[in-house]
Amino acid sequence: MMPQPALTYQQRRRPPRRRSRSWFYLAEALICIVLLGGFAYGIVHYVTRSPTFRVREIVVDGANVLREEHICAVARVTSDDNLMLSDVNAIQQRVQRLPYVRFCEVRRAPPHTLIIRIEERVPEAAVFTNGRLYEIDAEGFVLRELDPLADHVGPLITNVPGLGVPEPGRPLKADALTEALRVWRAVADTSLLEALTISEISAPDTRKISMFCDELPYEIRWGRGDYAMQAARFETLWENQGGDLPCREYLDLRFEGDLVCK
């Protein structure tokens, strides 16, 4: 057999590939993008322009002290606003700046309802400082300024140093005020309020807190520490003595024992 001639380079080359169809898939992708873009534009145009999504109702939940009309005015939302375009975070911040608002949540309820849910601060006492009277909650937040002769919730807290100029919506930061509020809560947790009206708590110092009652000729002195235990001691003395304690100037709860008074 005669030997076969060797294949040349041209003969060894692979056959040419078929032309790629990538252009076809690219065209399909472009068509899909155009269609989806048009569809999205149509939805956005409908949502932003259609009267269906205008705010027709504002539901306020949790308002007891505050009037719903006032909350809506602060929210600054009208029937000309689009519900889906309303900035719920901005609305929430505006409402939460109200002194009486402890917490605020705003959400949409399509197609046309905006829901504003709030948690109000609850008046706990009143603080008298610099000749002016302020209503505060249990955390010392100033809720509003009152007429000096106006009725108020809870006791009148006086003689607290370092309060500065109270401003509604901001907390009063003073250790003596904090201790005075703790004393008030300890007494409120007992049955003493059934017989006594706490009219004033004087707090010139954290270690010198005195409480005055309308029905008693003497003051009740408190020591910084376990106010619940001191309130329980006062309650026991009151019950054991039938409310007739032999005190004329003060009852001192800072010392353990049956009765320390003058």
In this prediction, residues 172-188 reach a mean pLDDT of 96
Residue 90 counted as domain residue: yes
In this prediction, residues 206-220 reach a mean pLDDT of 95
Task: Examine the domain organization and report whether 107 and 139 are in the same domain.
Answer: no
Task: Examine the domain organization and report whether 147 and 247 are in the same domain.
Answer: yes
Confidence of residue 41 (pLDDT cuts 50, 70, 90): very low
In this prediction, residues 226-244 reach a mean pLDDT of 92
CATH of the domain at 70: 3.10.20.310
Residue 246 counted as domain residue: yes
C-beta separation of 62 from 120 below 8 A? yes
Torsion of CA 163, 164, 168, 171, to 10 degrees: -40
Torsion of CA 225, 227, 228, 232, to 10 degrees: 120
Domain end position, chosen among 79, 99, 120: 120
Residue 40 counted as domain residue: no
In this prediction, residues 4-30 reach a mean pLDDT of 57
Task: Output the pLDDT for position 52.
Answer: 73
Task: Examine the domain organization and report whether 209 and 88 are in the same domain.
Answer: no
Confidence of residue 24 (pLDDT cuts 50, 70, 90): low
Q: How far apart, in whole angstroms, are the C-alpha atoms of residue 229 and residue 162?
A: 28
- Comparing 77 with 20, which gets the higher pLDDT? 77
Domain end position, chosen among 76, 103, 120: 120
Helix axes 227-240, 175-188, angle to 10 degrees: 40
Q: What is the pTM of this model?
A: 0.77
Residue 133 counted as domain residue: yes
Task: Examine the domain organization and report whether 248 and 159 are in the same domain.
Answer: yes
Task: Output the pLDDT for position 39.
Answer: 45
Residue 20 counted as domain residue: no
pLDDT tens digits for range 153-179: 999 999 999 998 899 999 999 999 999
Taking 90 as the threshold, does the pLDDT of residue 71 lie above it?
Answer: yes
CA 193, distance to chain mean position in Å, is 29
Taking 50 as the threshold, does the pLDDT of residue 43 lie above it?
Answer: no
In this prediction, residues 26-40 reach a mean pLDDT of 60
Task: Examine the domain organization and report whether 158 and 127 are in the same domain.
Answer: yes
Domain end position, chosen among 103, 120, 137: 120
Task: Output the pLDDT for position 46.
Answer: 44
Task: Examine the domain organization and report whether 202 and 186 are in the same domain.
Answer: yes
Structure tokens at 235: 């309650």
Task: Examine the domain organization and report whether 163 and 185 are in the same domain.
Answer: yes
Confidence of residue 85 (pLDDT cuts 50, 70, 90): confident
Averaged pLDDT score across all residues of the chain:
86
Q: Which domain holds residue 57?
A: 52-120
Choose among 121, 201, 210: nearest CA to 156: 201
Taking 90 as the threshold, does the pLDDT of residue 107 lie above it?
Answer: yes
